[in-house]
C-alpha cells in the first residue's frame, strides 16, 4: 500500500487488539516525527511500543466514533502522550463518559474515557500529522460517526472506522444505528470519492472505494 503526500511517503502502521479484532492506526509522513493515532483499542502496550520504536510523537488521538473497542485505549495513550489532543465527532462525544452508550457496560467493562479536547463537525478541515483531513459525518453505525478524507494524498486516503468494510458494512443494530442512514452515508460520503481511494477499516483488511462499489453485497453501486 504505497501512499504519498507531496512526494513524501505516508507511513501507516496498525495494531490489532484481541477480543474485537479492532484496528488502531498510526499515521505519519516520512521524516516528520508527528503522528496521528486512530481508534486506540485494548492493546495499548503494543501501540505504545510501535510509536516509540518509530521515534514518533502523537499529535492527536482520533476516535472515529464512541464505541468501546475504538476508545478503550484513550486513557492509556493520553497518559503516555499528554500533549496529544483527543478528538471525536461532536455528536458522539457524549459516549466517551457513558458506558451504556459506548457499549462497554454490556461486557461488564464500564469504560470511561477522558473527555475530548476537540470535537469535529461535518465539513471541518483539520491538519493532523502534516496532512489536511476533511471531516464527513457518516451516521448509521453510530449517530456521530465521522470519517476523515485526505484529498492531497495519492491515492486519496480515508480513515473510515466502522462504516464500510471489505465487502461488508458496519453493524446497524445498536440503539442509534440505522441501515438506511448507513447506506446513505456510504453512497453520499464514500462512493463519491475516486475509485482508487484507500479505505482504512476499523476491522479487517483495507479496501478501495472501487472494489466496494463493485463487490459490496450490502451497498453496491449500479454500473453503467
Domains observed in the chain: 4-215 (3.60.15.10)
- Ramachandran area for residue 64 (φ above 0: left; ψ -120 to 50: alpha; else beta): alpha
Longest dimension (CA), the chain: 52
- pLDDT digits over 171-211, tens only? 999 999 999 999 999 999 999 999 999 999 999 999 999 99
Q: For the chain, which ranges sit under pLDDT 50? A: 224
Its pTM stands at 0.96
Q: Which residues contact 222 (CB under 8 A, 6 or more apart)?
A: none
Give, in order, the Cα–Cα distances in Å from 178 to each of 70, 89, 90, 134, 169.
19, 18, 19, 24, 12
Q: Record the cell numbers describing residue 183, joined without a space.
A: 447506506
- pLDDT digits over 55-69, tens only? 999 999 999 999 999
Amino acid at each position: 500500500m504505497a501512499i504519498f503526500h507531496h512526494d513524501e511517503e505516508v507511513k501507516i502502521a496498525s495494531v490489532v487488539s484481541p477480543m474485537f479484532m479492532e484496528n488502531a492506526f498510526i499515521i505519519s509522513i516520512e521524516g516528520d516525527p508527528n503522528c496521528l493515532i486512530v481508534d486506540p483499542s485494548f492493546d495499548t502496550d503494543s501501540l505504545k511500543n510501535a510509536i516509540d520504536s518509530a521515534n514518533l510523537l502523537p499529535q492527536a488521538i482520533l476516535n472515529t466514533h464512541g464505541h468501546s473497542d475504538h476508545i478503550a485505549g484513550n486513557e492509556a495513550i493520553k497518559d503516555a502522550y499528554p500533549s496529544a489532543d483527543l478528538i471525536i465527532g461532536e455528536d458522539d462525544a457524549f459516549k466517551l463518559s457513558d458506558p451504556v452508550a459506548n457499549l462497554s457496560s454490556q461486557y461488564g467493562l464500564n469504560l470511561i474515557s477522558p473527555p475530548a479536547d476537540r470535537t469535529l463537525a461535518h465539513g471541518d478541515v483539520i491538519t493532523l500529522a502534516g496532512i489536511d483531513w476533511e471531516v464527513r459525518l457518516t451516521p448509521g453505525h453510530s449517530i456521530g460517526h465521522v470519517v476523515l478524507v485526505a484529498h492531497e494524498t495519492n491515492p486519496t486516503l480515508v480513515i473510515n472506522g466502522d462504516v464500510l468494510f471489505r465487502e461488508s458494512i458496519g453493524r446497524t443494530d445498536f440503539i442509534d444505528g440505522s441501515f438506511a442512514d448507513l447506506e446513505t452515508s456510504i453512497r453520499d460520503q464514500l462512493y463519491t470519492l475516486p475509485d482508487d481511494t484507500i479505505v482504512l477499516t476499523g476491522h479487517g483488511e483495507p479496501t478501495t472505494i472501487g472494489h466496494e462499489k463493485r463487490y459490496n453485497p450490502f451497498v453496491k453501486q449500479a454500473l453503467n
